């Protein structure tokens, strides 16, 4: 399966790296280990690939020696500093509106997860409840536990920070098998009823909490942040020329380097027109080709059954030696050294 181009916000990445640093890890080294240049993380509206974040969870647990890092994430960071989505939620009048905006703007935080909310009417046995559910939509998300744990812990931490109350869910569901040790789950989410092997991952709240006011919400600031959020969401939903070019490179990279003229033709553009548009976007075809090769190489090197010679061929390099030199230029390591360190 070819890797997808779904992304996660730089703000979300920085939360993971901050938590790892709190546990003594070298955040910049962790970023580089998964192919992320630390300079990329300076742009609050920047994006990185979901598959890089999945690799980051694996590396962060190894570097910190803390298997429960994802569960602790929400309490180790300030969840209201993760970017424009947090600012939109901060200026919603009630918790019910917070949930509504969280579901609507989920892609800004992570394109690979869909968050939905549903009001469940009261029945003869219980009162009305509200279910906030998470659904995986990206094939690049392969580590379910850290993904679900971190999302729910950050959500709960944000809810508490927004309302100034230590609110808890009536029930917390996880769509993964029952862990051998659930003490951290109980501490982070409790008091709550924990359910594992669930059909979906979700927080079930008393519906009365939807009317809980958000502290310090400023109605006059809400439209400003929502406009910014809408602009970002629109950009994500309309693939940029750079992402389209990289997508074509991936689809055409079958043992030989895709030619610029071929990519331009597939995008129904002239070569000079494509070059001009890429220059206006602050990049070039060669830069995008290198970025794509680097991302694919890092992914392939984590597959133990693929030789570095095979990878060089798949990425369209004429000789393995050319791939080795290019990879060392990108990462500071040879492919073999990288595989030993991170695969």
pLDDT in tens, 210-250: 999 999 999 899 999 999 888 888 877 766 788 788 888 88
pLDDT the model gives residue 2? 39
Given 236, 264, 285, which residue is the final one in a domain? Answer: 236
SS3 label, residue 132: strand
pLDDT in tens, 86-114: 999 999 999 999 999 999 998 888 888 99
Same domain, 199 and 268: no
Handedness of CA 338, 53, 140, 83 (dihedral sign): negative
More confident residue, 157 or 79: 157
Sequence-distant (6+) residues with CB within 8 A of 240 are 281
In the predicted model, what is the mean pLDDT of the chain? 89
Given 236, 262, 283, which residue is the final one in a domain? Answer: 236
Residue (of 146, 145, 141) closest to 114 by Cα position? 141
Backbone angles phi, psi at 20, to 5 degrees: -65, -40
Given 191, 218, 236, which residue is the final one in a domain? Answer: 236
Domain with 188, as residue range(s), is 7-236
2 domain-assigned:
no
Q: Does the pLDDT value for residue 4 go beyond 70?
A: no
For residue 191, is the peptide bond before it cis, meaning its omega torsion is within 30 degrees of 0? yes
Same domain, 289 and 209: no
3-state SS, one letter per residue, for 284-322: CHHHHHHHHHHHHHHHHHCCCCCCHHHHHHHCCCCCHHH
Same domain, 232 and 247: no
Same domain, 22 and 75: yes
Same domain, 24 and 144: yes
271 domain-assigned:
yes
């Amino acid at each position: 399966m070819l890797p997808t181009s779904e992304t996660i916000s730089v703000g979300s990445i920085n939360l993971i790296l901050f938590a790892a640093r709190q546990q003594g890890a070298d955040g910049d080294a962790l970023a580089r280990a998964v192919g992320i240049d630390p300079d990329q993380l300076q742009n609050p509206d920047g994006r990185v690939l979901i598959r890089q974040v999945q690799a980051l969870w694996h590396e962060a647990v190894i570097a910190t020696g803390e298997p429960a890092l994802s569960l602790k994430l929400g309490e180790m960071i300030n969840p209201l500093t993760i970017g424009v989505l947090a600012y939109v939620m901060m200026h919603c009048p009630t918790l019910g509106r917070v949930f509504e905006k969280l579901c609507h703007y989920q892609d800004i935080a992570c394109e690979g997860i869909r968050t939905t909310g549903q009001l469940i009417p009261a029945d003869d046995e219980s009162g009305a409840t509200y279910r906030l559910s998470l659904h995986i939509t990206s094939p690049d998300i392969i580590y379910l536990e850290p993904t679900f744990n971190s999302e729910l812990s950050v959500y709960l931490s944000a809810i508490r920070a927004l309302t100034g109350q230590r609110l808890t869910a009536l029930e917390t569901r996880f769509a993964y098998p029952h862990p051998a040790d659930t003490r951290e789950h109980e501490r982070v989410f409790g008091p709550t009823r924990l359910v594992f092997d669930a059909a979906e991952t979700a927080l079930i709240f008393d519906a009365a909490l939807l009317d809980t006011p958000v502290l310090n919400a400023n109605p006059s600031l809400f439209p400003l942040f929502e406009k910014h959020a809408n602009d970002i969401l629109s950009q994500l939903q309309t693939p940029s020329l750079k992402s389209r070019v990289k997508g074509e490179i991936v689809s055409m990279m079958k043992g030989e380097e895709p030619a610029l003229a071929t990519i331009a033709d597939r995008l129904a553009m002239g070569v000079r027109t494509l070059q001009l548009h890429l220059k206006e976007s602050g990049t070039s075809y060669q830069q995008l080709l290198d970025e794509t090769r680097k991302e694919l190489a890092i992914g392939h090197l984590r597959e133990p059954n693929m030789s570095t010679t095979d990878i060089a061929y798949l990425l369209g390099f004429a000789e393995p030696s050319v791939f080795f030199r290019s990879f060392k230029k990108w990462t500071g390591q040879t492919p073999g050294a990288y595989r030993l360190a991170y695969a």
